[in-house]
Chains A and B, each alone.
Chain A
Amino acid sequence: MSARREVIVASPHARNAESSFARAVSTLVRGGDFLFVSGLAAVDPRSGERVRGTTASETRQILANLKQLLEAAGSSLDKVVKVNVLLHSMLEAPNMNEVYARFFPDPPPARTVCGARLPDDAKVVIECTALA
Protein backbone atom coordinates (compact mmCIF):
# COMPACT_ATOMS: atom_id res chain seq x y z
CA MET A 1 0.00 0.00 0.00
CA SER A 2 1.93 3.01 -1.25
CA ALA A 3 0.91 6.63 -0.72
CA ARG A 4 1.86 9.74 -2.66
CA ARG A 5 4.23 12.31 -1.12
CA GLU A 6 4.06 15.85 -2.40
CA VAL A 7 5.61 19.08 -1.17
CA ILE A 8 3.03 21.81 -1.67
CA VAL A 9 4.22 25.34 -2.40
CA ALA A 10 1.19 27.48 -1.63
CA SER A 11 2.63 30.76 -2.86
CA PRO A 12 2.45 33.56 -1.78
CA HIS A 13 1.42 32.23 1.59
CA ALA A 14 4.10 29.55 1.74
CA ARG A 15 6.27 31.87 3.77
CA ASN A 16 6.64 31.20 7.42
CA ALA A 17 9.37 31.77 9.95
CA GLU A 18 11.03 28.52 8.89
CA SER A 19 10.94 28.76 5.13
CA SER A 20 11.60 32.49 4.98
CA PHE A 21 14.80 31.94 6.97
CA ALA A 22 15.95 29.47 4.28
CA ARG A 23 15.74 26.44 6.54
CA ALA A 24 15.50 22.87 5.31
CA VAL A 25 11.77 22.83 5.95
CA SER A 26 8.75 22.53 3.68
CA THR A 27 5.73 24.39 5.02
CA LEU A 28 3.19 21.90 3.65
CA VAL A 29 3.74 18.26 2.81
CA ARG A 30 1.00 15.96 1.62
CA GLY A 31 1.40 12.32 2.51
CA GLY A 32 -1.39 10.00 1.47
CA ASP A 33 -4.69 11.27 2.88
CA PHE A 34 -3.04 13.79 5.22
CA LEU A 35 -1.54 17.23 4.98
CA PHE A 36 1.34 17.93 7.39
CA VAL A 37 1.91 21.59 8.26
CA SER A 38 5.24 22.70 9.75
CA GLY A 39 5.46 24.51 13.04
CA LEU A 40 4.43 28.09 12.25
CA ALA A 41 5.61 31.16 14.08
CA ALA A 42 3.89 34.54 13.62
CA VAL A 43 4.88 35.97 10.24
CA ASP A 44 3.56 38.80 8.10
CA PRO A 45 2.31 36.88 5.03
CA ARG A 46 3.19 39.78 2.70
CA SER A 47 6.77 40.38 3.78
CA GLY A 48 7.60 36.97 5.23
CA GLU A 49 9.08 38.81 8.22
CA ARG A 50 8.58 37.66 11.77
CA VAL A 51 5.94 39.57 13.70
CA ARG A 52 6.59 39.92 17.40
CA GLY A 53 3.65 40.62 19.68
CA THR A 54 1.76 39.19 22.59
CA THR A 55 0.86 35.52 22.87
CA ALA A 56 -2.67 36.46 21.79
CA SER A 57 -1.61 38.50 18.75
CA GLU A 58 0.96 35.92 17.63
CA THR A 59 -1.65 33.16 17.96
CA ARG A 60 -4.08 35.23 15.85
CA GLN A 61 -1.46 35.82 13.13
CA ILE A 62 -0.40 32.16 13.04
CA LEU A 63 -3.97 30.85 12.78
CA ALA A 64 -4.88 33.41 10.10
CA ASN A 65 -1.83 32.25 8.12
CA LEU A 66 -2.66 28.61 8.80
CA LYS A 67 -6.19 29.13 7.45
CA GLN A 68 -4.80 30.59 4.22
CA LEU A 69 -2.14 27.91 3.88
CA LEU A 70 -4.64 25.10 4.33
CA GLU A 71 -7.09 26.64 1.88
CA ALA A 72 -4.36 27.25 -0.70
CA ALA A 73 -3.55 23.55 -0.43
CA GLY A 74 -7.21 22.54 -0.88
CA SER A 75 -7.84 21.80 2.78
CA SER A 76 -9.33 23.99 5.55
CA LEU A 77 -9.44 24.56 9.29
CA ASP A 78 -12.47 22.28 9.63
CA LYS A 79 -10.41 19.41 8.18
CA VAL A 80 -7.71 19.68 10.84
CA VAL A 81 -7.43 16.52 12.94
CA LYS A 82 -4.60 17.32 15.36
CA VAL A 83 -2.88 20.50 16.51
CA ASN A 84 0.30 20.90 18.56
CA VAL A 85 0.74 24.26 20.24
CA LEU A 86 4.04 25.26 21.86
CA LEU A 87 4.05 28.24 24.21
CA HIS A 88 7.01 30.09 25.68
CA SER A 89 5.15 30.02 28.99
CA MET A 90 2.24 27.85 30.07
CA LEU A 91 0.98 30.85 32.05
CA GLU A 92 -0.04 32.22 28.64
CA ALA A 93 -2.31 29.27 27.82
CA PRO A 94 -5.56 31.16 28.62
CA ASN A 95 -4.47 34.04 26.32
CA MET A 96 -3.78 31.58 23.50
CA ASN A 97 -7.04 29.69 24.10
CA GLU A 98 -9.22 32.77 23.91
CA VAL A 99 -8.00 33.53 20.38
CA TYR A 100 -7.69 29.89 19.34
CA ALA A 101 -11.33 29.09 20.12
CA ARG A 102 -12.55 31.63 17.58
CA PHE A 103 -10.81 29.94 14.63
CA PHE A 104 -12.02 26.37 14.83
CA PRO A 105 -15.47 24.87 14.30
CA ASP A 106 -17.36 22.89 16.91
CA PRO A 107 -16.11 20.26 17.59
CA PRO A 108 -12.54 21.56 17.29
CA PRO A 109 -9.61 19.25 16.47
CA ALA A 110 -7.61 17.18 18.96
CA ARG A 111 -4.83 19.27 20.49
CA THR A 112 -1.75 19.23 22.71
CA VAL A 113 -0.32 22.34 24.38
CA CYS A 114 3.21 22.35 25.82
CA GLY A 115 5.55 24.90 27.30
CA ALA A 116 8.90 24.95 25.47
CA ARG A 117 11.94 27.05 24.64
CA LEU A 118 11.15 28.34 21.15
CA PRO A 119 13.43 29.47 18.31
CA ASP A 120 13.51 33.06 17.00
CA ASP A 121 12.09 34.44 20.28
CA ALA A 122 8.65 33.20 19.27
CA LYS A 123 5.99 33.23 21.97
CA VAL A 124 3.88 30.68 20.10
CA VAL A 125 4.53 27.97 17.49
CA ILE A 126 1.66 25.93 16.07
CA GLU A 127 1.71 22.89 13.79
CA CYS A 128 -1.08 20.66 12.59
CA THR A 129 -2.11 17.58 10.68
CA ALA A 130 -5.18 17.93 8.47
CA LEU A 131 -7.07 15.84 5.96
CA ALA A 132 -5.76 16.71 2.51
Chain B
Amino acid sequence: MTETLPRSAIEPKNPRLNVSRSANLPHVPGIRVGPYIFLSGMGPINPETGEREHGPIAEQIRTTLRNMQHMLESAGSSLGRVVRVHVVLADLADMPEMERVYREFFPIDPPARMAWSMELRFGNGCEIECVALAA
Protein backbone atom coordinates (compact mmCIF):
# COMPACT_ATOMS: atom_id res chain seq x y z
CA MET B 1 0.00 0.00 0.00
CA THR B 2 1.33 3.42 -0.96
CA GLU B 3 1.16 6.29 1.47
CA THR B 4 -2.12 8.20 1.75
CA LEU B 5 -2.46 11.29 -0.45
CA PRO B 6 -2.90 14.53 1.52
CA ARG B 7 -6.50 15.85 1.32
CA SER B 8 -7.59 19.42 1.93
CA ALA B 9 -10.61 21.64 1.25
CA ILE B 10 -10.37 24.51 -1.24
CA GLU B 11 -11.59 28.02 -0.40
CA PRO B 12 -12.24 30.79 -2.94
CA LYS B 13 -10.24 33.97 -2.28
CA ASN B 14 -13.52 35.85 -2.75
CA PRO B 15 -15.60 34.66 0.24
CA ARG B 16 -18.86 35.64 -1.53
CA LEU B 17 -18.20 32.72 -3.89
CA ASN B 18 -18.17 30.26 -0.99
CA VAL B 19 -21.79 29.47 -1.74
CA SER B 20 -22.02 26.22 0.17
CA ARG B 21 -20.86 27.98 3.34
CA SER B 22 -23.20 30.96 2.97
CA ALA B 23 -26.15 28.68 2.19
CA ASN B 24 -25.11 26.20 4.90
CA LEU B 25 -24.96 23.32 2.43
CA PRO B 26 -23.08 20.16 3.44
CA HIS B 27 -20.30 20.38 0.87
CA VAL B 28 -17.14 22.36 0.28
CA PRO B 29 -16.38 24.27 -2.96
CA GLY B 30 -13.65 21.80 -3.77
CA ILE B 31 -11.18 19.25 -2.50
CA ARG B 32 -7.54 18.93 -3.35
CA VAL B 33 -6.12 15.43 -3.01
CA GLY B 34 -2.52 14.92 -4.03
CA PRO B 35 -2.13 16.37 -7.52
CA TYR B 36 -5.90 16.43 -8.23
CA ILE B 37 -8.56 19.06 -7.61
CA PHE B 38 -12.26 18.13 -7.53
CA LEU B 39 -14.64 21.10 -7.63
CA SER B 40 -18.29 20.97 -6.59
CA GLY B 41 -20.95 21.86 -9.14
CA MET B 42 -21.03 25.64 -9.52
CA GLY B 43 -23.86 27.92 -10.58
CA PRO B 44 -24.15 31.52 -11.79
CA ILE B 45 -23.23 33.55 -8.69
CA ASN B 46 -22.49 37.25 -8.96
CA PRO B 47 -19.03 37.62 -7.38
CA GLU B 48 -19.85 41.17 -6.20
CA THR B 49 -23.00 40.25 -4.31
CA GLY B 50 -22.86 36.48 -3.77
CA GLU B 51 -26.40 36.29 -5.20
CA ARG B 52 -27.60 34.05 -8.03
CA GLU B 53 -27.94 35.73 -11.41
CA HIS B 54 -30.57 34.33 -13.72
CA GLY B 55 -30.07 36.42 -16.84
CA PRO B 56 -29.51 35.12 -20.38
CA ILE B 57 -27.91 31.67 -20.47
CA ALA B 58 -24.75 33.03 -22.12
CA GLU B 59 -24.22 35.31 -19.12
CA GLN B 60 -24.96 32.49 -16.69
CA ILE B 61 -22.36 30.27 -18.37
CA ARG B 62 -19.81 33.09 -18.48
CA THR B 63 -20.32 33.94 -14.81
CA THR B 64 -20.10 30.29 -13.78
CA LEU B 65 -16.90 29.66 -15.74
CA ARG B 66 -15.34 32.89 -14.41
CA ASN B 67 -16.14 31.71 -10.90
CA MET B 68 -14.65 28.30 -11.69
CA GLN B 69 -11.52 30.08 -12.90
CA HIS B 70 -11.42 32.03 -9.63
CA MET B 71 -11.87 28.85 -7.60
CA LEU B 72 -9.05 27.07 -9.43
CA GLU B 73 -6.73 30.07 -9.20
CA SER B 74 -7.50 30.35 -5.48
CA ALA B 75 -6.14 26.80 -5.23
CA GLY B 76 -3.05 27.63 -7.31
CA SER B 77 -4.40 25.91 -10.43
CA SER B 78 -5.97 27.34 -13.60
CA LEU B 79 -8.48 26.63 -16.38
CA GLY B 80 -5.58 25.31 -18.47
CA ARG B 81 -5.10 22.51 -15.92
CA VAL B 82 -8.70 21.24 -16.12
CA VAL B 83 -8.92 17.65 -17.35
CA ARG B 84 -12.66 16.90 -17.22
CA VAL B 85 -15.83 19.01 -17.11
CA HIS B 86 -19.49 18.23 -16.52
CA VAL B 87 -21.89 20.80 -17.92
CA VAL B 88 -25.51 20.49 -16.86
CA LEU B 89 -28.15 22.76 -18.40
CA ALA B 90 -31.74 23.19 -17.24
CA ASP B 91 -32.80 23.57 -20.89
CA LEU B 92 -31.34 21.31 -23.58
CA ALA B 93 -32.03 24.06 -26.15
CA ASP B 94 -29.26 26.14 -24.50
CA MET B 95 -26.51 23.78 -25.76
CA PRO B 96 -25.42 25.98 -28.72
CA GLU B 97 -25.19 29.10 -26.54
CA MET B 98 -23.28 27.14 -23.90
CA GLU B 99 -20.87 25.91 -26.57
CA ARG B 100 -20.29 29.42 -27.91
CA VAL B 101 -19.35 30.84 -24.49
CA TYR B 102 -17.55 27.71 -23.27
CA ARG B 103 -14.97 27.84 -26.06
CA GLU B 104 -13.99 31.38 -25.02
CA PHE B 105 -12.67 29.80 -21.81
CA PHE B 106 -11.09 26.69 -23.36
CA PRO B 107 -9.79 27.84 -26.77
CA ILE B 108 -7.02 25.25 -27.13
CA ASP B 109 -6.61 21.65 -25.95
CA PRO B 110 -9.94 21.72 -24.08
CA PRO B 111 -10.74 19.23 -21.30
CA ALA B 112 -12.77 16.04 -21.69
CA ARG B 113 -16.43 16.92 -21.27
CA MET B 114 -19.90 15.49 -20.83
CA ALA B 115 -22.88 17.81 -21.26
CA TRP B 116 -26.54 17.06 -20.66
CA SER B 117 -29.76 18.57 -19.41
CA MET B 118 -31.70 17.83 -16.25
CA GLU B 119 -33.67 19.66 -13.58
CA LEU B 120 -31.51 22.05 -11.56
CA ARG B 121 -32.02 23.63 -8.15
CA PHE B 122 -32.56 27.30 -7.34
CA GLY B 123 -33.77 28.15 -10.84
CA ASN B 124 -30.21 27.99 -12.17
CA GLY B 125 -29.86 27.65 -15.93
CA CYS B 126 -26.55 25.84 -15.63
CA GLU B 127 -24.34 23.95 -13.22
CA ILE B 128 -20.72 23.15 -14.05
CA GLU B 129 -18.19 21.01 -12.21
CA CYS B 130 -14.66 19.93 -13.04
CA VAL B 131 -11.61 17.87 -12.18
CA ALA B 132 -8.31 19.71 -12.56
CA LEU B 133 -4.66 19.17 -11.83
CA ALA B 134 -2.98 21.22 -9.13
CA ALA B 135 -0.22 23.57 -10.30
What mask results when residues 107 to 132 of chain A are scored 1 for a CB within 8 Å of chain B, else 0? 00000001111110000010101000
* Contact-residue size bin, chain A (C-beta under 8 Å from the other chain): 20 to 34
A119 to B88, CA, bound (A): 11
Q: With A3-B35, A3-B134 as given contacts, are A119 and B116 in contact (CB-CB < 8 Å)?
A: yes
B30 → chain A closest CB, angstroms: 15
A117 to B120, CA, bound (A): 12
A127 to B129, CA, bound (A): 15
Asked if B112 and A29 sit within 8 Å, CB to CB, the answer is: yes
Asked if B106 and A24 sit within 8 Å, CB to CB, the answer is: yes
Query: Is B121 close to A, CB under 8 A?
Result: no
A116 to B43, CA, bound (A): 19
When distances are taken between beta carbons in the complex, the residues of chain B under 8 Å from A127 are 112, 114
The segment from B16-24, B66-74, B95-103 found at the interface with A is: B95-103
When distances are taken between beta carbons in the complex, the residues of chain B under 8 Å from A31 are 36, 83-84, 131-133
* Contact-residue size bin, chain B (C-beta under 8 Å from the other chain): 20 to 34
10 contacts between A and B (CB under 8 A): A2-B133, A2-B134, A3-B133, A7-B109, A24-B99, A25-B112, A29-B84, A30-B83, A34-B83, A118-B117
For the complex of A and B, 8 pairs with smallest distance between CB atoms: A39-B114, A31-B83, A3-B35, A24-B103, A117-B117, A36-B84, A36-B112, A38-B112
When distances are taken between beta carbons in the complex, the residues of chain B under 8 Å from A1 are 34-35, 134
A125 to B117, CA, bound (A): 12
Asked if A26 and B111 sit within 8 Å, CB to CB, the answer is: yes
Asked if B116 and A27 sit within 8 Å, CB to CB, the answer is: no
A87 to B14, CA, bound (A): 37
Which A residues have a C-beta under 8 Å from some C-beta of B? 1-3, 5, 7, 18, 23-32, 34, 36-39, 84, 86, 114-119, 125, 127, 129
Main secondary structure of the interface of A (DSSP, over half): strand
Asked if A37 and B95 sit within 8 Å, CB to CB, the answer is: no
Asked if A27 and B112 sit within 8 Å, CB to CB, the answer is: yes
Q: With A24-B99, A24-B102 as given contacts, are A39 and B113 in contact (CB-CB < 8 Å)?
A: yes
Query: Is B9 close to A, CB under 8 A?
Result: no
Given contacts A7-B109, A119-B115, 5 further A-B contacts (CB under 8 A): A3-B133, A3-B134, A34-B36, A118-B117, A125-B114
